[in-house]
Structure 1
Amino acid sequence: MTAFTLPRLGAIAAACALLLPGLAQSRPVTITTQLKNYNGDGAYLAVYLTNAQGAYAGTLWVAGSKAKYYKHLSAWSRLSAADNQRLLGVTGASVGAGRTLKVTADLADALLDAGYEIRIDAAVEDQRDSPAEVRLPLSTAQAGQPVRGKQYIQSTRFDLP
């Protein structure tokens, strides 16, 4: 099992600061996603945040570098369409079956226990797309607790320091 460790995403901290002015406290949140051993090509994954009303709040990471396939990450693509900065510094390679993706982002403390969710859309070439494959409440009670995916993801969890 190989893990892809990604650098902290300073752009996310800046985006959260813009979305929620006046928030000075943030912390690193590490999201770990283990894919199932499905048959097929690497998965494209969009890891993003939504607020308590289900509205898009920011993109944390997009695994898969060919933009022509992003339309298959349909919930993320639809929700983030107006965000011209959604891909700034947050893209990498697709993730193979059975592999692990780790994303670390600095998130404002005020997002915890405020109804926000980490969502992950998944798509694999020549297979069925899976919008909102994972919906994970961004709450202190949920930290460290794995959530099962619907189709391609075995489990996802986030950890706090």
Structure 2
Amino acid sequence: MSKRLLTTIATICTLALPTLAHSRQVTLTAQLKNYGGDGAYLAAYLIDAKGAYARTLWVAGGKAKYYKHLSDWNRLSASDTKRLAGVTGASVGAGRTLKVTADLAEALIDAGYEIRIDAAAEDMRDSPSEIRVPLATGNAGKPQAGKQYIQSLTFQLQ
């Protein structure tokens, strides 16, 4: 390869890498209703602008046999072999708060992505897509109401 070509490639890589590396933290705070049942299993995940699964942000609830009750997330993420890598914790009790933080590529924000949370509690009705919130700067800090188990979801961008 010519020296000029190598210099050009090195320059392009130097300029492109910082763009790829830009990320922001998103902190999700889900306040659960006092629904009077056992701890809820929750799956927080991202959907892209075309409605396809993009990434799991967090799964609250440690027993995999119950993940089938988080039906939208389970169906959409089934082919993601790393969907649970480092993103699981305990179920969340009625009236309690779940707070999780994830790093997201800056390019996902205001690009048509949506945060979704599926919810289920033992001996109670499942709630697929319990809450759906566009991942947009205009929605940051604004509480969004859930359908059955989640009183409100707020996300912050840092």
TM-score tier, shorter chain, comes to 0.7 to 0.9
- TM-score, normalised relative to structure 1: 0.86
Equivalences for 1:79-94 in 2 at 5 Å?
Answer: 79-94=76-91
- Report how far residue 160 of structure 1 moved: 1.2
Distance 2:29 2:123 in 1: 25
> Quick one: percent identity of the two aligned structures?
75
Query: What residue in structure 1 maps to residue 94 of structure 2?
Result: 97
Distance 1:23 1:94 in 2: 34
Distance 1:66 1:100 in 2: 20
Match of 2:44 among 39, 44, 47: 47
3-state SS of 1:23 partner: helix
Distance 1:71 1:40 in 2: 19
Structure with higher helix content = 2
- Report how far residue 151 of structure 1 moved: 0.2
Query: What residue in structure 1 maps to residue 124 of structure 2?
Result: 127
Query: What residue in structure 1 maps to residue 33 of structure 2?
Result: 36
* Amino acid corresponding to residue 144 of structure 2 in structure 1: V
- TM-score, normalised relative to structure 2: 0.87
3-state SS of 1:58 partner: strand
* Amino acid corresponding to residue 39 of structure 1 in structure 2: G
- Structure 1: runs of 5 or more not aligned: 1-21
* Amino acid corresponding to residue 96 of structure 1 in structure 2: G
The alignment yields a C-alpha RMSD, in angstroms, of 0.7
* Amino acid corresponding to residue 132 of structure 1 in structure 2: S
- Structure 2: runs of 5 or more not aligned: 1-18
1:65 paired to 2:62: yes
* Amino acid corresponding to residue 46 of structure 2 in structure 1: L
**Runs of 4+ that moved beyond 3 A:** none
3-state SS of 1:141 partner: helix
How many residue pairs get matched?
Answer: 140
Match of 1:111 among 101, 108, 112: 108
When Rg is computed on C-alpha atoms for both structures, the one with the higher figure is: 2
Q: Deviations over 1:59-111 (max 9, x none)?
A: 00000000000000000000000000000111000000000000100101100
